[in-house]
Structure 1
Amino acid sequence: MSLRATARIVADAGGGLPLLESDGPLAVRRTRATGPYTRVTVVGAMSAPLGGDRLAIETEVRDGARLLVDSAAATLALPGRGDAPAAYDIRLTVGDRAALRWLPEQLVSARGSDLRMRTTVELAATARLVLREEQILGRHGEETGTLSTRLTVRRAGRPLLDQELAYGPGAPGGWDGGAVLSGHRAVGQLLVVDPEFEAKPVASRPLAENAVLTPLAGPAGLVTAVAADALQLRRVLDEALGALAPA
């Protein structure tokens, strides 16, 4: 039997969490923070998403608030009993002078799974965002499942980024070819949006053998990377995060 679950997080400028609502396999917990950000950790309460599941996390960072959201472990997409794909929607809203650091652990696409993931972000003109996505295509020694992801970001009501990726059986041909993954099984990106980049835009440059920083048409930079495994991918993205958006 498939699941329907939506977790909700609301952070305010005083460091409070007026809404922290868990649902089904998505347990959200306030955890100890060492910096200026209020911290919430997503804890998987059961195996999910399975085929047919419909999961969502809705997060609102109100004006002037600072919120860090991470997760306790990787998310593992698994096959279900039927043929229906699973869906995982992330909806983020960041207000004026607010900041969100969205730093979950990796998403692992297990063999036989089929997951459609959608992340939608609405930013105020003065908002700041750090968003990391990491996908691991298959567990150790196995083929990947089917995974499609879409990241849509709007700033002050205008499009900033709209990107869609697809991997595995059923994805458009060439996804594993030399022009895309070239045999790598870990892929990720780091998006940093900061109004300070308007005065000093980021410069396009390679960051590693298989990673590059690209400025966007707005106060933002996008790091994209592929790697042999999750450890190498995280190392590249952590180095980029330290350079672009130190805590």
Structure 2
Amino acid sequence: MGGVRATARIRATADGRGGTSLPVLEGEGPLALRRTRGSGREARVMLVGAMSGPLGGDRFRVECGVEDGARLRVGSAAATIALPGQVKGEARYDVRLDVADGGELVWLPEQLISAGGSDLRVATRVDVGAGARLVLREEQVLGRVGEQPGRLGSRLTVRVAGRTVLDQELGCGPGAPGGWDGPAVLGGYRAVGQLVVVRPEFGKEPMPARVLGEGAVLAPLAGSAVLVSAVAEDALRLRRVLDEALAGLDA
């Protein structure tokens, strides 16, 4: 079997002094982790790509757990670019996030770019406790400038208090199910993103569904979560839409 196997692990706990400690911060190969300056109770971590990829045949995995009383913000230093490799077959990138009751996770990686000729399968699974808080952003860009995209499959599953509130899947690019680029899915746009926000107060006062502008909509999910879905012409416009949506929820 070819390709690179790599796993990164993060565990955040309350340090007993009003802050957050990181007893587990481990990266392998292309998945390097760096702790950066935090703010208040919040610890911050950057995921740094130490190698190109994921390439064909690679298997990447990121695991992150946030315990009661801990606050963690995770970002990435640059966009992730899925590229074709010498090894045939799809690459896989799995993300597993667990946020315990009383924990808070802000997960804001940079975009995933599906370069021409690549074949990548992404699966993100999130388990959130009933009293936990979460902000999660996912952004996919289909092809670089002037380039047709590779094949990209993406699945996002979110469970709150053991109940599945979101389980959606999207396939794009060559070999994907027909219609992915049609008006019922992307409508010719090349950037697609999701923003999932979980807050206990949403369970008491559900957010109403509404259109946020061209190509974006906010929808309440079961329990204490909301989903913002957006499509845009490019990564810059997509980020602006999602940032504005999050600012509106914080207002």
Q: TM-score, normalised by structure 2?
A: 0.96
* Contact 2:190 2:233 survives alignment (8 Å): yes
Which residue of structure 1 lines up, in the alignment, with residue 233 of structure 2? 228
* Contact 1:130 1:245 survives alignment (8 Å): no
Which residue of structure 2 lines up, in the alignment, with residue 42 of structure 1? 47
Which residue of structure 1 lines up, in the alignment, with residue 246 of structure 2? 241
Q: Does 1:9 align with 2:22?
A: no
- In structure 2, C-alpha distance between the alignment counterparts of 1:33 and 1:10, rounded to whole Å: 15
* Contact 1:192 1:245 survives alignment (8 Å): no
- In structure 1, C-alpha distance between the alignment counterparts of 2:223 and 2:49, rounded to whole Å: 35
**2:159 counterpart letter in structure 1:** R
Which residue of structure 1 lines up, in the alignment, with residue 177 of structure 2? 172
Which residue of structure 1 lines up, in the alignment, with residue 199 of structure 2? 194
- In structure 2, C-alpha distance between the alignment counterparts of 1:156 and 1:216, rounded to whole Å: 13
Secondary structure of the residue that 2:139 maps to in structure 1?
strand
- In structure 1, C-alpha distance between the alignment counterparts of 2:213 and 2:143, rounded to whole Å: 23
For residue 35 of structure 1, report the CA deviation from its aligned partner: 5.0
Q: Does 1:217 align with 2:242?
A: no
- In structure 2, C-alpha distance between the alignment counterparts of 1:178 and 1:143, rounded to whole Å: 18
* Contact 2:108 2:136 survives alignment (8 Å): yes
**2:140 counterpart letter in structure 1:** Q
Which residue of structure 1 lines up, in the alignment, with residue 81 of structure 2? 76
- In structure 2, C-alpha distance between the alignment counterparts of 1:103 and 1:181, rounded to whole Å: 22
In structure 1, stretches of 5+ residues that fail to align are none
CA displacement 1:15-44 (0-9 Å, x = unmatched): 100010010100011011345421000000
* Contact 2:41 2:70 survives alignment (8 Å): no
Which residue of structure 2 lines up, in the alignment, with residue 85 of structure 1? 90
CA displacement 1:109-146 (0-9 Å, x = unmatched): 00000000000111111111100000000000000000
Correspondence 1:52-71 to 2 at 5 A: 52-71=57-76
Count of aligned pairs:
246
* Contact 1:13 1:64 survives alignment (8 Å): yes
- In structure 1, C-alpha distance between the alignment counterparts of 2:169 and 2:151, rounded to whole Å: 14
CA displacement 1:87-108 (0-9 Å, x = unmatched): 0000001011101000000000
**2:162 counterpart letter in structure 1:** G
**2:148 counterpart letter in structure 1:** E
Match of 1:118 among 114, 123, 129: 123
Which residue of structure 2 lines up, in the alignment, with residue 136 of structure 1? 141
Which residue of structure 2 lines up, in the alignment, with residue 51 of structure 1? 56
Q: Show structure 1 runs of 4+ deviating over 2 A.
A: 33-36
- In structure 2, C-alpha distance between the alignment counterparts of 1:36 and 1:150, rounded to whole Å: 32
- In structure 1, C-alpha distance between the alignment counterparts of 2:6 and 2:136, rounded to whole Å: 22
* Contact 1:76 1:107 survives alignment (8 Å): yes
Which residue of structure 1 lines up, in the alignment, with residue 24 of structure 2? 19
**2:62 counterpart letter in structure 1:** I
- In structure 2, C-alpha distance between the alignment counterparts of 1:213 and 1:220, rounded to whole Å: 11
Say what the alpha-carbon RMSD is for the aligned residues: 1.0
Match of 1:98 among 94, 103, 122: 103
**2:8 counterpart letter in structure 1:** A
CA displacement 1:192-239 (0-9 Å, x = unmatched): 011100111111001111100001111111000000000000000000
Secondary structure of the residue that 1:102 maps to in structure 2?
strand
* Contact 2:56 2:85 survives alignment (8 Å): yes
Match of 1:205 among 192, 210, 213: 210
